[in-house]
Amino acid sequence: MKTLKLRVKDKHAKQLMTLSNAVNFVWNYVNELSFKHLQRTGKFFSAYDLAIYTKGSGEFLNLHSQTIQAISETHAKSRKQFKKAKLNWRTNNPKARRKSLGWIPFKKSAIKNVKTKLSGKKCLKSTIQLSLTKGHKLTIELWDSYNLALYTINTCTLVQDARGRWYACVTIKEPAETRCGDRNVGIDLGCKESATTSNGCKLSIKQTHKWAAKLGVAQRARNKNRVKAIHAKVKNTRQDLIHKFTHGLVKNNALIVVGKLNSKLFTSTKLAKSVYDAGWFEIKRQLGYKCKYAGCYYIEVNERYTTQTCSCCGSRCNSPKGRAGLGIREWMCVTCNTVHDRDVNAAKNILAVGLDRLAVEIPVL
């Protein structure tokens, strides 16, 4: 399963906001109903139970019955995921203290790809028809950089970003093929370099620092639109760099070993901004699902002492230790006289730990 994100034309924004209000109404109703049922009986409502109470409401809200079912399923899944008896309320009121971004889910039976045409020399534009209540349709146009005519659409979710722009997140089915390489690689996550591999490749993001000056000017001028645009630029650039980095790793390697690093431990320190900018969670998230799709083996291991240990002889003499050693980027092992790059050496040790774990857990046939 693969998700394509396509930009919806701005002329549909007003109509989509109206539907988003109806979706929020269903979400809040289901949220309150589930909480009251939990208080009375001590049991949670499942998505199937919620469908009984929302049956027939699509006619009054101008929503497809499958859309209402998707809302109930998402609510039940989110409540279980976050382990909460009651989730946050959703509202599109701009004066609300916590405003929710627009969200409208559609299932396969409510989606129809009408046409895809060439607009200009290189640009494609697709038209999708989405079913609402009985006898009503929603036709939207979007900029198509993937050519949807080549795929079979499974689901479509319309989402809104902080700048008010709408996107269609379309899931498609692709044949599961083994496309990974035959090499092994270890990855060390850090702040100076977001990720360093055991073969010397490095991922450097630093987008927050790059745009810090312009962001400060926009904030002091109270230009909210410019602030949102800069944040979107930082986010999109970071995502693009991580996607390219992880795609290359999955394509060329059969085993990827990453150090198990909890980013929450650093969010209350002076390194918080650098940790958020490094995108450790996003790197591991993308590697997880891409490896699963490509047939590549992905594991996370304990990275204790991987920076201090020489990857050649295993000695810990004269190696960088603690906070005082954070500035040491290269060091020489006094036992075997090998000069190490700090991060590459750690990545090699992480790979060695992963290979040892594989040797223990996977029996030899």
Nearest one of 319, 355, 358, 350 to 197, comparing CA atoms:
350
Asked if residue 217 and residue 109 are part of one domain, the reply reads no
- The total of structural domains in the chain comes to 2
pLDDT tens track for 248-265: 899 888 899 998 887 777
What pLDDT score was predicted for residue 317?
76
From residue 123, give the alpha-carbon distance in Å to each of 8, 37, 112, 142, 293: 14, 51, 21, 11, 29
Mean pLDDT, residues 330-350:
82
Distance CA 332, CA 313 (A): 12
Instruction: Kindly tell me if the per-residue pLDDT of 241 is higher than 50.
Output: yes
pLDDT tens track for 123-161: 888 889 999 988 889 999 998 888 888 888 889 999 998
Distance CA 305, CA 250 (A): 26
Instruction: Kindly tell me if the per-residue pLDDT of 363 is higher than 60.
Output: no
What pLDDT score was predicted for residue 176?
53
Which position has the higher pLDDT, 26 or 145? 26
Distance CA 101, CA 16 (A): 11
Asked if residue 218 and residue 134 are part of one domain, the reply reads no
Asked if residue 20 and residue 138 are part of one domain, the reply reads yes
Asked if residue 187 and residue 170 are part of one domain, the reply reads no
Residue listed under structure tokens 């699509």: 58
CA 4 to chain centre: 13
Query: Residue 218's domain is classified under what CATH number?
Result: 3.30.420
Output the six-digit token pair for 204: 């450097």
Regarding pTM above 0.85, the answer is no
Which of 174, 199, 222 delimits the end of a domain?
Answer: 174
What pLDDT score was predicted for residue 180?
63
What pLDDT score was predicted for residue 103?
93
HSE-up of 86 (CA within 13 Å, CB side)?
12
Asked if residue 232 and residue 324 are part of one domain, the reply reads yes
Task: Tell me the one-letter amino acid at 297.
Answer: Y
Mean pLDDT, residues 87-94:
88
Asked if residue 322 and residue 212 are part of one domain, the reply reads yes
Percent of the chain at pLDDT > 70 equals 93
Nearest one of 195, 183, 307 to 244, comparing CA atoms:
195
Q: Where is average pLDDT lowest: 118-127, 132-141, 326-335? A: 326-335
pLDDT tens track for 31-52: 999 999 999 998 888 888 888 8
Is the distance from CB of 111 to CB of 156 less than 8 angstroms? yes
Asked if residue 198 and residue 159 are part of one domain, the reply reads no
Exposed/middle/buried for 226, CB within 10 Å: 0-12, 13-18, 19+? middle
Residue 167 binned pLDDT confidence (cut-offs 50, 70, 90): very high
3-class secondary-structure state, position 88: coil
Is the distance from CB of 125 to CB of 141 less than 8 angstroms? yes
Mean pLDDT, residues 210-230:
92
Percent of the chain at pLDDT > 90 equals 28
What pLDDT score was predicted for residue 364?
40
What pLDDT score was predicted for residue 71?
93
What pLDDT score was predicted for residue 29?
94
Asked if residue 321 and residue 209 are part of one domain, the reply reads yes
Which of 118, 140, 174 delimits the end of a domain?
Answer: 174
Is the distance from CB of 232 to CB of 162 less than 8 angstroms? yes
What pLDDT score was predicted for residue 362?
45
Asked if residue 208 and residue 139 are part of one domain, the reply reads no
For residue 119, what are the β-bridge partners?
A: 123
What pLDDT score was predicted for residue 322?
64
Which position has the higher pLDDT, 2 or 54? 54
Instruction: Kindly tell me if the per-residue pLDDT of 84 is higher than 60.
Output: yes
What pLDDT score was predicted for residue 158?
94
Asked if residue 308 and residue 229 are part of one domain, the reply reads yes
Which of 153, 174, 195 delimits the end of a domain?
Answer: 174
DSSP state of 92: -
Instruction: Kindly tell me if the per-residue pLDDT of 69 is higher than 80.
Output: yes
Mean pLDDT, residues 318-323:
69
Expressed as residue numbers, the domain containing 318 is 183-361
Mean pLDDT, residues 193-211:
88
Asked if residue 266 and residue 157 are part of one domain, the reply reads no
pLDDT tens track for 102-111: 999 999 888 8
Asked if residue 142 and residue 2 are part of one domain, the reply reads yes
Residue listed under structure tokens 């360093």: 196
Is the distance from CB of 127 to CB of 141 less than 8 angstroms? yes
